Structure 1
Amino acid sequence: MRVITFGTFDIFHVGHLNILKRAKEHGDHLIVGISTDDLNFSKKARYPVCPQKSRAEIVDALACVDEVFFEESLELKREYIQQYNADILVMGDDWQGKFDDLKDICQVVYLPRTPSISTTELIEIVKER
């Protein structure tokens, strides 16, 4: 089974690792779409701390990840799933229900996030210091 997931993976932390390892448990090939810097700016009005090339290199180096590509648009999820022949879409439960419309082309699984850690919170802590 081919699994696909998406994320920014900025300031890589254990929450990122946990979701990727758990995503891989749903199949035998894990494909990860890394949000581009421009996509992140359009979503959050700020660029990631780490540039997209570095974020992709970090994620690609993980044993649980088989393939990495750049996600350029949130509206292209369906096309990415079809392009990479994914059987399962795995997302964090903060997206619960938002991708249910894709159940006609793949299984959709929402996994719980690792508690007490987020990139946004880490950035705020660093800024305060």
Structure 2
Amino acid sequence: MYTFTKEERLCNKKLIDELFHNGSSFLCYPFKASWLVVSQPQKFPAQILFSVSKKRFKRAVDRNLIKRRMREGYRLNKQLSLYASLTAAEKQIVLSIGYIGKEIASYEFIEKKMLKLLTQLNTEMTK
């Protein structure tokens, strides 16, 4: 249940390109989320991409730490906050979450904000 497999990661260049050109986005500090409803069938209701700015965090260890914390926060909360509503609505989405904070946040803060972002995403999709 609380897994994060290869199929859940967004790797398709065409989908990523389409996401950033045609997708909707919103801010939920310290994250910026972009999402797009897709028509082609996928194994999972959502495919996701995490990114941290190289301009803001010069050292790769810092970027990797933030991405690790983001992935963990998502992995633990996706089932209840996102997948349940997506499967009920029979929708499939691609999602990108970029970290726009200025400093490295604690895991507790990141997890709390990730939960807020996922609930905000649900309300955005039902509009």
Greater share of residues in helix:
2
TM-score, normalised on structure 2?
0.28
